[in-house]
Amino acid sequence: MPQSSFLKISPEVADALSGGRPVVALESTIITHGMPFPQNLDMARKVEAIVRSGGAVPATIAIMDGAFRVGLGDADLQRLAETGAKAAKASRRDVAAILNAGVVAGTTVATTMQACDMAGIQLFATGGIGGVHRGAESTFDISADLEELSRTPVAVVCAGAKAILDIAKTLEVLETKGVPVIGYGTDMFPAFWTRSSGFPVDKRLDTPAEVARLIETQFSLGMGGVLIGNPICAEDALDPDMIADTIEAALVDADKGGISRKALTPYLLKRIFELTEGKSLVSNIALVENNARVAASIAVALAAAAAG
């Protein structure tokens, strides 16, 4: 199992990988920048428990003490959650500086994929991916997640792109970069707090075994990542009109405050939480748990296919 001064894999995760057992990676900016303490810690523990109950080993990833940490113990999870927004937010461009500084950092989709690739993990679950921000034709604000998906062979289970983004342009960029966008049990790309963005996926697959076969084929061809859109459960979804109006109000507030670039997404999520009186956070937690559940089932199918 690969180990270096910049990569530390927990014994449990290393043992699972060497034994061909299913592993689901979990990113950590959702812990540091996605929700407040102590809800973030409760969520992190619950999501790991869901992965375990689904038959897979959870591997929460963060940068701590000068290394990518792949698989965190409970004390490290608590430390990460308590650090919260005071932690750095690590995308690919930040990694070298953060590792050298030895500070705590949450890993984005892009850097979690990077760590997965280093560790040999094929699959990870998140809430929603980053993408093309509204107004990107002027600001060129496009998440590094999309570039990472185009080049790094890791499958990402998500509830679509964050609804604060320009989802149409996000899907266009994914198409240009050759990233297959799969709908898990859906023909439409999900929109984070709601089940549909109104835009179709490239391919619908309805079972973990079907998704596992596609992932195997994609990676065997030496191609990049796979994006798996898993809609939030209907009972946890927010009203589409309400959340659309709330996002517009939050964007106006961000513009007035001069909030942009890497500070924009955490600000918008926090402002939407305030404007919805916490409803967005409840929905966010529910969709992350649902993604972890589906990712565990896909990881089990991947391990079975590899063994069989």
**3-state secondary structure (DSSP) of residue 130:** coil
Amino acid of residue 9 = I
Question: Cα-atom radius of gyration of the chain, to the nearest Å?
Answer: 18
| Catalytic residue, candidates 48, 89, 148, 162 | 162
Are the CB atoms for 292 and 16 separated by under 8 Å?
A: no
Please indicate whether residue 289 is annotated as part of the active site: no
Please indicate whether residue 27 is annotated as part of the active site: yes
| Catalytic residue, candidates 27, 48, 148, 289 | 27
Are the CB atoms for 140 and 169 separated by under 8 Å?
A: no
**Alpha-carbon gap, residue 116 to 156, rounded angstroms:** 11
* Number of helical (H) and strand (E) elements in the chain, helices listed first: 13, 11
- Measure CA of the first residue to CA of the last residue in the chain; give whole Å: 22
Q: Which of 292, 307, 308 is nearest to 23 (CA)?
A: 292
Q: Which of 95, 101, 100, 36 is nearest to 61 (CA)?
A: 95
**3-state secondary structure (DSSP) of residue 82:** helix
**3-state secondary structure (DSSP) of residue 107:** strand
Backbone angles phi, psi at 57, to 5 degrees: -100, 125
Eight-state DSSP code of residue 160: B
Write the DSSP string, 171-237.
Answer: HHHHHHTT--EEEES-SB--BTTBS--S-B-SEEE-SHHHHHHHHHHHHHTT---EEEE-PPPGGGP
| Catalytic residue positions, numbered | 27, 162
